[in-house]
Structure 1
Amino acid sequence: MEADDPVIAEYDVFITPEMEQQLYVLQYLNRRPNQPFVKSEGAVPSEVRVKEQSGFIEVDVALPMQSNFNRLAGVRWGEAMRKTKQLGQKAYGISSGFERAMPRAARPGAPADGPVQPPLDDDANFDEYVTNFEDANEKGHVLNTQTYGGQIVKEDGKGPTYMVGTFKKNQLHLTRLNGLVQLRTQFHHLDAVNQLEAAQRRREKESQEGAKVVEPKAFMPTVKKAGGDTAAEITQAFMKAANAEKWNKLMYHYEDVCSPSKLQHPALIHFADRRVLRCL
């Protein structure tokens, strides 16, 4: 009997030996496979950063500002991001451990150990930024990027083993991946707006109630159990470590090979020197 599914091609399969470099596939869940991040689509990543210990990765992609761009919202959210970064906010959401940097209150008797924070509710230049939009954008007053973020899901030996392959005539060369990253749209600008509102409420409360005088307090040293083995304690320690960890920026190299006909999820981190992002 003839086979219903005949063999139409045969390939010799080779598996690449273990390498020092780390390979991760980035999957953009909110973007169609036929819309890769390439120049022809008007969207190329402008910055990529990673927290290697906690495994968080974020990708900033430039927004098409020539059409369908809300300038009022862009200035409002851009100013919120700029002001919160002035307060010392380095990350947002889960990658920051959900921690918020708040302005230090000038309490009587307390030393001035930091710079004076700018007023958070100063929107005197808002209309000027909207009117002179191009100039404001160049000076960092406009939110002109969209951020995608996620956490590396590393191979743990229990699940499937993912590989990437390259065809060379009748040969298929496979390289094992170190993990996957499912990137979703991040709303850091909304976190920044909420953070400014919380900081403003805090300042209004302190102005009404008055700042408390710093007074010495007696304390009694106690010995506590080491603990740290419960789910809540492990999560709390992870969040604290994620907030303390600094971002490492990666270099993104644009390549024309990242086209819809060649890749369905056109993004691959190539840690040749642990600082390079390439689209292969």
Structure 2
Amino acid sequence: MTADRDLTARFEAARPQLGAVAYRMLGSIDDAEDAVQEAWLRLRGSATDDIANLDAWLTTVVARICLNTLRTRRARGGEELVEQLPDPIIDAAEDSDPEHRAMLADAVGMALFVVLDTLPPAERLAFVLHDAFAVPFDQIAPIVDRSPDATRKLASRARRRIEEANPVPDGDLAAQRAVVDAFFAAGRSGDFDRLVSVLHPDAVLRGDFGPGAGYRTKGASSVAELAQSYAGPEREVRVATVNGAAGAVIFVSGRPSAVMGFLVRDGRITSIDVLADPARIAKLDLGAVGPGD
């Protein structure tokens, strides 16, 4: 019994980090939780005396589960995967949940997940484990059935594609929020030219309204036309931090209807990701997003 309690305690201590790895790999809170739970079941069925480094063993197991999940998604989903936005994590100012804090660590908005979803599974795994969680390449290599040098090249290719997409927002969250506030103020006032002025000329808006109902438009004028609808008088905009970057939750008649994540770079909005899938919105804990937050 003492050994069981010790194993459980060690697993629970590792759970926040494991959840963060799985979330960054999969972009789904439910799938991340399933991966961590599957790792626990495998641990319970293993000869733990033979495990020299439990944290490394658990990370490897979770990574393998995530890799298989990504490959299954690719085989089944095709291009639809690119249109599905990740589950957003809404930051509460005084959140004390270690799993929640771990998932948000080093988060840089929803735009990064959109790029990650375009990567082949092995590239995504190599990049996430090495660049986000400092897992050495010789530990990653057996997971992707490559040599350490080949695994390093996988991460390098992923890093290059991410750098080309440049999904990292301006570093000052307050400055990001000022731009987002200006965006909604222009929308409420009906000042179309002002609304366009806060958008990058090549701004992109992606909308996820549910399975098979993805939408994408590009160009400041096109994005502005769509965005005006989110500032209508029947909609209440509540400021939020979404995956560590400036965002908002839109309420209609007191109920959340959409989560918006913004990518603000060089003082202008370069992309807007809108999750408006009713089923997924209903599953989010948005109680901490109060009026005036």
Report which of the two has the higher share of helix: 2
Q: Which has the higher contact order (CA 8 A, sep 6+)?
A: 1
Query: TM-score normalized by structure 1?
Result: 0.18
Whichever of the two has the greater Rg, that structure is 1
Report which of the two has the higher share of strand: 1
